[in-house]
Structure 1
Amino acid sequence: MSLRPLLVRSVLSVSLAVASFAGTAATEYAFAAVPAPDVPLKLMSVAIQGNSRVPTADILQAFGYHAGDKVTRNDLDASQKRIGELYSSRHVGTSLEERLRISGNGVAVKVILEEQAASAPAQPTALVLDRVEFQGNKKVSTADLEAATKLRAGGPVSNELMSADQQAIQALYKSKNVGGAFQAQATYPNHDQHVVLVWIINEHDKAAN
């Protein structure tokens, strides 16, 4: 009497912080009786297929078993989870299918991976300017300083923009034949991305030549 192969499929879905992983276990038996999940089987072979961004050697290390070892179906479920954790640690998403071919007391394993494209790196949160103040200016009015600079409340702020405004302040003081030292002081009163910018100005009698 010929025996028809029996295909059993279980689905494992894990949500990871930096990479997604979906796993499927497909088991094909050469006999009708299904071994219990804790019945030891002799591992005949392990094959890895479809990986390019994570080396095969690293996947086999995470798999944790070698040909000749005794394993159970529970052990192989755990190995699938470890491979998912490996991909998560490498910031690579993947879907995984673990195919088990059981014949007698032996099992051959094929791990089929479908790696996801690399996601774009997270962009830093933009800083927002809440207020600009000028302190120490007596010979040059605040209105003139505001007209010469570009940073405005509600707009973005960066080192490049502050540097450009500092050069504009220096040029304004030079045009009025007034010397000075200028320092930008940025604070984060709410400990978030909102910034208060204060220009500390130390005026001199004449602009430096």
Structure 2
Amino acid sequence: MLQISPRSRCFSLRHLAVGFGLIMSGAAMIIVAPANVAQAAAPPGADEPLTLSALHIEGNKQVATPDIMSVVPFHVGDTVTQNQISKGLDAVQQLYKSKNVGGSFGGGMKFIGKKVEVTWNITEQQPLGGPVVDGVVFSGNSKISADALTAVTKLRPGSPVSNEAVQADQKAITDLYKSKNISASVGMTPSSPTPNHFLVTWTIVEK
């Protein structure tokens, strides 16, 4: 699990002109510090609630920012902890794996009182392995539902794409229509919004 170390905070204490006052009380000497001596605040604990004031995502190109935000379980303005922020970045890593895109993930947190600003830096790599499916769409089917078509096919988001896999799913769709005594032609149109990633659209013409 990737750990994000909070950015160190530097605090400077102005040298105060007022010295410590000495009070004599019997045989005891009590040292009284001036009430306005500034104390350096410790960084918040890992489970201390904070308000997320900003979330910056940098370096992502192959995976769009809206896609990343869709898997992050918090948004600007929410109350979060450092542990939750770390789990959010874990979810982003899993998203990259599902899209077959490698990357390294880093960043930091800046604390301002009870608020935190988060920056995630992503260094993307070339897609891992061969082409993969980003999504599957059925078009033109009115007599058989998309759920029924999905049930008999095997291509899913994250699945590798091959001619054999496409042909097997095409046959499965055709066989389902035959079993329902419905005549139909089945074709497939791929589109590639990003390199090595395909949206598979099944075009069905029912007769």
Which TM class, normalised by the smaller chain length? Answer: 0.3 to 0.5
Structure-1-length-normalised TM-score: 0.45
TM-score norm. by structure 2 comes to: 0.45
**Which has more radius of gyration?**
1
